[in-house]
Each structure stands twice: as C-alpha cells, then as structure tokens.
Amino acid sequence: MRSEIAVVGANGFIGRRVSESLGERTGITVAQHVRRHPDESPTGFDLREPSSVLATLGRPLTVVHAASYVGSDVSTALEVNVIGTQNLLAAARTAQVHRFVYVSTAAVYGRGPFHERNERSLAIAPASVLSQTRAQAEQLVLDAGGIVVRPHLVVGAGDKWVLPTIARLIKALGSHIDEGIALHSTIHVRELGEVVAWLATHPDIAPGAYNASTKVPTSARVLTKWAETADPSVSPAGSLSLSSAQSSLDENAFLRNAVNLLGVHHTFDISKLLASGYEPPESETGLDRGDLAWYERSLAH
C-alpha cells in the first residue's frame, strides 16, 4: 500500500511546515518537491511545464499543493496558480492520487468586513487579480474532488507579508486604526502545517473547502504590537478612524488596501474543520522568541 505524500512547494513558507508536520507522523513517507531554481534546486519542478510536473511527481498516495505564486506579476500568477494547478492535477490523475489538498487563502472571499462567516455563507469574490487566480485554482481542485484550505493571516518565522505590511502601514499612519479593535482570524504557520497535515492524512475527510485558524481571533492592536516589538520605529501614537486612515493614504493603493484589511473585522468560522475531528489550540495565536527574532532581522532590511 502506498503511503507517500508529495508536498509540492516544500521549501516555501507554508510547505516547509507541512513537510515537518507530516514527517512527525508514523508510517508516512514525505516526498518534498521544490521549485526549480538555477542556483538552489536545478533539478526541481516547474508547474508551468506539464512534462516537468509529471516527471517529478512520481506515484504518491496524496498530493499537498503549497506552491502558489504570491507576487505582483499578473502573467506569472496566471501561469503558476491556474495553469500550474491544472498541470499538477493532470499529473495527479495520471499517478492515480487518492487525495489532493490545495493550500489557498481566505482572500478569495474578497474584502470584509467578515464576522464568523463560514464556507457556505460566503461567495467567492476576489478583489485582486492575484486572489482571482487563487480562486480559479481552488475551483479546479474542488471540481476534481479535492480539498482546499483557506487561512486568513498566517504569521511566524518566514512571513514576508502580514507583519511587514502592518509595520509599513502603521509607520505611514503613525497611529492605530479605530484603536486597533478589528479582529482577525490568525494562525501560526506551524499550526497551519498541522491543519494541512491533518486534512491530508485523516481517513474521514470530506472533499471541499475548509477555513483554517485558531479558535480565538487576534486584534489589530495585538498584530501591531508584534510589529512594534520587532521594529520599535513602528510606534503608533493615538488612533485614526477608518475613514481618516483611508483618506490619508489616497495616493498609495497598496497601503490603502492594507487599511481596508487591517481596519475591519475578518473572522471566519472553523466549525467545519472542528467537525472533521481537528483540535486547534484553545488559546490565541502567539509568537515565540524565534519568530520575533526573525521579524527583527526581516524588518531591519
């Protein structure tokens, strides 16, 4: 009986943690597939090339797809996230893979506010081209009977988006937004690795989409405090209303979008994940010393 699980994108922020979580489970062999890079991994895969994917994948029992493109180039997003997912699904069908898990994002739901909304109550309404390509990739996976994982904010060592963006935003504003009261479904990347590993290995997982977070949301004030701890120059003084923060950044589309994200509630119901038998921590997401040290180095550059 095959027991191998292929993690595609195993050297990425999330893929690395998924590989670690799977590696701790008895009776499972983890095949780590990394993106081809001329200097680092010349023998890796390229999702844009069907022959590369087919030759690299082998015959695993399960595939975890954690190799999405998250940059700003539209053509690359389409090629990797949509066409690449098509290619990986085709290779999985050829290999007679039993389960396919795609690590997506709650950004496919579009702009908030969202308050404890579940997978059935929310329409897919991506607000950016990048999120649209993730939504398209999701649909391909769901149509094939696969599993989709939707985290909102993923934090921890290796995060190049959440806390760095918050630090940049608060520096530009010089203040909190509405006292930092907005709540966010947040998950540490280590915990997300556990969630994905559970969905990839537990025998009774139904196909479909699963929101992923811890049970207790994190406030914008706490997220800002983490950024300030890593970079004291963040240092917010006072608070601006959401509308004032928006208008003060009219000419900066990136930071205006960040205001609309950080400044309003984005909490998602995880009842479906809990019903699968997964037991997340009861406490709020937190950062350890290693995470903060990583952020200190990252935000210093």
- pLDDT, residue 184, reads 98
Residue 281's pLDDT is: 86
Which residue ranges of the chain lie beneath pLDDT 50? 1
CB of 169 within 8 A of CB of 255? yes
Instruction: Note the pLDDT tens digit of each residue in 98-128.
Output: 999 999 999 999 999 999 999 999 999 999 9
> How many distinct helices (H) and strands (E) make up the chain?
12, 14
Domain spanning 4-299, CATH class: alpha beta
Measured CA to CA, the distance from residue 34 to residue 245 in angstroms comes to 40
pLDDT tens figures, 134-184: 999 999 999 999 999 999 999 999 999 999 999 999 999 999 999 999 999
What are the extents of the domains in the chain? 4-299
Report pTM: 0.95
Taking the alpha carbons at both ends of the chain, their separation in whole angstroms is 49
Q: For residue 290, count CB atoms less than 10 angstroms from its CB and return exposed for 0-12, middle for 13-18, buried for 19 or more.
A: exposed
DSSP 103-129: E--GGGG-S--EEEE-TTT-----SSH
Q: From the CA atom positions of the chain, what is the Rg in Å?
A: 19
Task: Determine the 3-state secondary structure of 72 from DSSP.
Answer: coil
Q: What's residue 158's pLDDT? A: 97
